[in-house]
Amino acid sequence: MEGVMQTDAKMRTESGAESSPRAPGCSLRHFACEQNLLSRPDGSASFLQGDTSVLAGVYGPAEVKVSKEIFNKATLEVILRPKIGLPGVAEKSRERLIRNTCEAVVLGALHPRTSITVVLQVVSDAGSLLACCLNAACMALVDAGVPMRALFCGVTCALDSEGTLVLDPTAKQEKCGTEAADVHHQGALLGC
Amino acid sequence: QLDQRFWAPTCDCLRTVEPLEYYRRFLKENCRPDGRELGEFRTTTVNIGSISTADGSALVKLGNTTVICGIKAEFAAPPTDAPDKGYVVPNVDLPPLCSSRFRSGPPGEEAQVASQFIADVIENSQIIQKEDLCISPGKLSWVLYCDIICLDYDGNILDACTFALLAALKNVQLPEVTINEETALAEVNLKKKSYLNIRTHPVATSFAVFDDTLLIVDPTGEEEHLATGTLTVVMDEEGKLCCLHKPGGSGLTGAKLQDCMSRAVTRHKEVKKLMDEVIKSMKPK
């Protein structure tokens, strides 16, 4: 049903090239999203933020193993694969954050005793990875037609030693500053 | 306070059949089944230096939750991209001993998330300057293996683990090491030991969110299970935020977040006072 959907940032942006400076603390990198690009999953999305790219696929509502079944709502699973190597402890921590965020938003009560699986593959990482994963997961859930009570989005903010806030930092800016990734929905903080 | 004569006969049945409803009745009266207020912590006790085979150790009890941290120091070559730094390697283990929900085998998700949280706290709070762990740049440095094991799981594992780690690090004594110039071997002088330079004292405060609106401090295992979200705030002594851990769950407004941070500041003072008292009371080795 959906073709390619390009969402350009309405704020002042600089396109991908890291050498061009951004207006201090105000703008995000160029971001884009494409839905329905994989044929097997029920829903899929690719989210791009500058040079960071994450591919998400959603399977569900589907059959669930009896051991994981919840009698009154859907069981949500998130699998995050890094670009290189095997998933480690950091991936597990991020999977939990993404899973709890999706659980707060997905109307699991409409599909009891089923499973909804979100699979995320990191294609390239140039900073703001967690926010990109969250956005890709949200767009993939929408593409799969999973009922949700709201949409959520993620933004990574970096505070450097002087206290200036940089939104959507690149990998270099993240290293110098202290990072925080926020997930917002209707002005309430869902995760960080 | 609830009238026990009225509630006692219905108490046990409701608790098993409808735990959430049971809890809501207490929360409406602004208290919890174990008699605590919404902003009250359980009794905290700490025992420092109990494991003699470890270089530093601490046992923390937060109500029923019991966590022990043991630190061993070993030699290692420093990382090639940072030849003047040592390593601090935390690991949180939730064995089947502490709760029936954990099985033996590779670490489950809860243990991995806790390990990652402790690693983040160490990194963000700069509790130890990794340069202090370097003995000879590019050749030899200390690696501190921090093993945190839960002995009894009754909720609020992150607070207990952070406190145990901090107390154990304060207890660590490293021997003096010199590199013999002729043989290029390390010589360890076990008679001359010195404490680590602990730069900050991060203290974690955990909250559980009920029904998307109510915040309670220091949740027990049962409360964590019924909660719709959790939040852990790690503060250091200057009231600076080290780490904020909120793995999804129901949303929180900015005002509620501020309340949590002020509660965390008060908690920091209590914990620091307790730890200083215990350390002062310990007999010097």
* Secondary structure of chain B as H, E, C letters: CCCHHHHHHHHHHHHHHCHHHHHHHHHHCCECCCCCECCCCCCEEEEECCCCCCCEEEEEEECCEEEEEEEEEEEECCCCCCCCCCEEEEEEECCCCCCCCCCCCCCCHHHHHHHHHHHHHHHHHCCCCHHHHEEECCCEEEEEEEEEEEEECCCCHHHHHHHHHHHHHHHCEEEEEEECCCCCCEEEEEEEEEECCCCCCCEEEEEEEECCCEEEECCCHHHHHHCCEEEEEEECCCCCEEEEECCCCCCECHHHHHHHHHHHHHHHHHHHHHHHHHHHHCCCC
Does residue B97 carry a pLDDT above 80? yes
Task: Report CB contact under 8 Å: B251, A97.
Answer: no
- Ramachandran class of B184: left when φ > 0, alpha when ψ lies in -120 to 50, beta otherwise: left
B124: closest CA of chain A, how far (Å): 8
Higher-confidence residue: B208 or A11? B208
Of A89, A100, A189, the CB nearest to B257: A189
Beta bridge partners of A178: A159
Give me the domain span that covers residue B89: 11-282
* A42-77 pLDDT, tens digit each: 999 999 999 999 999 999 899 999 999 999 999 999
Q: Which residues of A touch B234 (CB under 8 A)?
A: none
Residue with the larger pLDDT of the pair A142 and A184:
A142
Q: How far is B179 from chain A (nearest CA, A)?
A: 33
Question: Among A97, A104, A178, whose Cβ lies nearest the Cβ of B250?
Answer: A104
Q: How far is A1 from chain B (nearest CA, A)?
A: 31
CATH code, domain carrying B207? 3.30.230.70
Asked if residue B69 belongs to a domain, the reply is yes
- Tell me whether residue B153 is in a domain: yes
Contact criterion met (CB < 8 Å) for B113 and A188? no
Residues of A in contact with B246 (CB under 8 A): 189-192
Arithmetic mean of pLDDT, B169-174 = 93
Percentage with pLDDT > 90 across chain B: 63
Position A17 confidence tier, pLDDT thresholds 50, 70, 90 = very low
Asked whether residue A112 carries a pLDDT value surpassing 50, the answer given is: yes
Please give the residue that has the higher pLDDT: either B272 or A22. Answer: B272
- Decide which of A23 and B96 is more confident: B96
- How many interchain CB pairs under 8 A, A with B? 66
The reply to whether B44 falls in a domain is: yes
- pLDDT at site A48: 95
Contact B246 A102 (CB under 8 A): no
Cβ distance of B247 and A191 shorter than 8 Å: yes
Assess: ipTM above 0.90: no
Q: Does A100 score more than 90 pLDDT?
A: yes
Domain membership flag for residue B18: yes
How is A121-152 classified by DSSP, letter by letter? Answer: EEEE-SS-HHHHHHHHHHHHHHHHT--BSS--
Residue B95 maps to a domain: yes
A100–B249 C-beta distance less than 8 A: yes
Asked whether residue B2 is assigned to any structural domain, the reply reads no
Asked if A188 and B252 come within 8 Å (Cβ–Cβ), the reply is yes
Q: Is residue B3 part of a domain?
A: no
Residue B5: inside a domain, yes or no? no
> What residues of chain A lie within 8 A of the CB of B249, using their CB?
100-101, 103-104, 190-191
Q: Which residues of B touch A104 (CB under 8 A)?
A: 228-229, 248-251
- Distance from the Cα of B215 to chain A's closest Cα (Å) equals 14
> How many domains does the structure of chain B reveal?
1
pLDDT band of residue A9 (cuts 50, 70, 90) is very low
pLDDT of residue B3: 63
Predicted local distance difference test score (pLDDT) of residue A89: 94
Q: Which residue in B112, B247, B257 is closest to A89 by CB distance?
A: B112
Is there a contact between A189 and B112 if contact means CB atoms under 8 Å apart? no
Quote the pLDDT of residue A151. 93
Residues of chain A contacting B119 with CB distance shorter than 8 Å = 89
Nearest to B112 among A93, A101, A186 (CB): A93
pLDDT digits (tens, 9 = 90+) for A122-179: 999 998 999 999 999 999 999 999 999 999 999 998 887 787 888 888 888 887 776 6
Q: Which of A60, A53, A93 is nearest to B246 (CA)?
A: A93
Tell me the shortest Cα–Cα distance from A90 to chain B, in angstroms. Answer: 6
